[in-house]
Structure 1
């Protein structure tokens, strides 16, 4: 587990302890367990103190199921929390508002690194200096560096479709977390937000070479049209698909084919203002098949959960809870 993964896991655990204690403030046994968790590691205690400070600064949000969307877009990470006994209290809106502020904090440094970025529900086409086209999905950020005999783009967040101008002398490189994609001229999609720790490269035209630059090993010497590489926790898997579906998001769609609910939710969250909280791990592991409309993300979330008896609940305009 990377240090970033560890920090994210610790943050989620702190948020879970905080939510549970807000629901049962008089539960001495629960509070003792939380204190034991904090005492086990100073980083745990620091994460919990941060949750408390944000809570003190946050206004309570009353629950609502109205579809009220904010005027300004924000980034929307998905936080998966363990299942707890059902308690429908007004504290939940405020507590999750605090979680939202904590979860969005890393995006501030991301904005400093990015040359181009998109907000929630926004897509953008960027033409680079050599004429190569980058089509950026919602909630995506890239950094560009052209120097000497290299053309480098770093995908910092989200996903993007690249249509690269051919140049055999200056290969085009896309680095996305552990992956580095190398091409001279082709069209392909790279996604670093398909799910927790998952990365994908899908080719529409031409071919690409994919390496794990951290481990200095090749994953695919030649990924051809209609081939897709999925990389997760050091393991690479290549499958096939219809090339026309390389970047379905460009047509306003999420296409799921026996896909885990958690992964589809992660894709839809890019178009959903605020924080999306998946409360049930078992529900997240269920699988769905279908085509979902990115232009109506809340309706799409309901369609994803409906076959498995899940519900979508809105707490103000900034928080959506999936049960």
Structure 2
């Protein structure tokens, strides 16, 4: 693990690495001491560790719901005495909650720390993870189960149904179907791009049948399902194709969105175009191209360096 990068994304990635390691096996003396040092280095480290544990536990709780009407596999197991001791030690180190342990589960963590991440799985082909997304893939049967801990992903099912857990929203994506799933704290949503899916929310007893264009949004207080038009569908999937589509968006908002994906940042040094509106389709990894469009439309000046693009 690299401890040099102090960005929030890097700190979260290190925290999830520690949590995944604790869940997988006990730490040896050297690694336990390294974790203690890392937690003591910076209050942000402790906060990131708490967040990582909370999201990991949420995924575990959602996995337990797989015995509900959608009949997804694997009920939760009781902790062994060894696992209880191990998690108690982990909690003592962090001063926070316990990490669930299911010893028979094989799981992988994927974190899109910089730009889009493409992950290939035999049951679903290529998965696209948006910037900042953290995805856990569990394999305790012949098919994978997906825990979307935070962020956004595009996923297609081939020959088997794929279960997806998202902080209170459970989706069973049916064969030959595709969706975009999004988790943000206690809020989750999913958009069916093709085929169909079954959904279950912790607030409801009945499953819902979702079809292409159906967009389900859940919060702790509400559940809504809407059907999107062609234009809205195109905007919803643009990010997974390496593009951003803006429709009459404030320039400052568009710049903020582009900056999420790029180390080379666009900086507004004046307010000449900050609250002007812009529409169009732009490449996620081309901030200079976007800045040049602003120059053509609004007549702004560009100051270009390796680190940033200043607009005045």
Give the TM-score, by structure 1 length.
0.48
Give the TM-score, by structure 2 length.
0.50
Higher relative contact order (CA 8 A, sep 6+): 1
